[in-house]
């Protein structure tokens, strides 16, 4: 792929640039196909989310005698 078209945003821009610089219909199709392939964003592999277990420290209940 021509490095000059990597940063272009739309197919129309790519087409216009290639035509302006003397590319023929066959080469434009090839360059456009490569440009489209480079614009496809790969989805990241899904990773399982970490399960965080938290423990709450509860105060111990101490039985006290109320008898006097």
pLDDT (tens place) for every residue of the chain, 68 residues total: 888 898 888 999 999 999 999 999 999 999 999 999 988 876 666 777 777 777 777 777 776 766 65
Give the structural domain span for 25.
Answer: 3-38
- The beta-strand segments (E) located in 1-68 are none
Q: Are residues 17 and 5 in contact, defined by beta-carbon separation less than 8 angstroms?
A: yes
Report if residue 59 sits inside a domain: no
Take residue 35 and report the two structure tokens written for it.
């440009």
For the entire predicted model, the pTM comes to 0.56
Report if residue 52 sits inside a domain: no
Report if residue 15 sits inside a domain: yes
First to last CA, the chain: 93
Report if residue 17 sits inside a domain: yes
Domain count, the chain: 1
Closest CA to 32 of 55, 5, 51: 5
Report if residue 28 sits inside a domain: yes
pLDDT of 16 reads 93
Closest CA to 12 of 39, 40, 32, 27: 32
């Amino acid at each position: 792929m021509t490095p000059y078209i990597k940063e272009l945003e739309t197919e129309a821009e790519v087409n216009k640039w290639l035509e302006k610089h003397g590319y023929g219909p066959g080469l434009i199709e090839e360059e456009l196909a490569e440009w489209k392939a480079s614009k496809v964003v790969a989805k990241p592999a899904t990773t399982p989310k970490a399960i965080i277990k938290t423990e709450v420290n509860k105060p111990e209940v101490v039985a006290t005698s109320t008898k006097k």
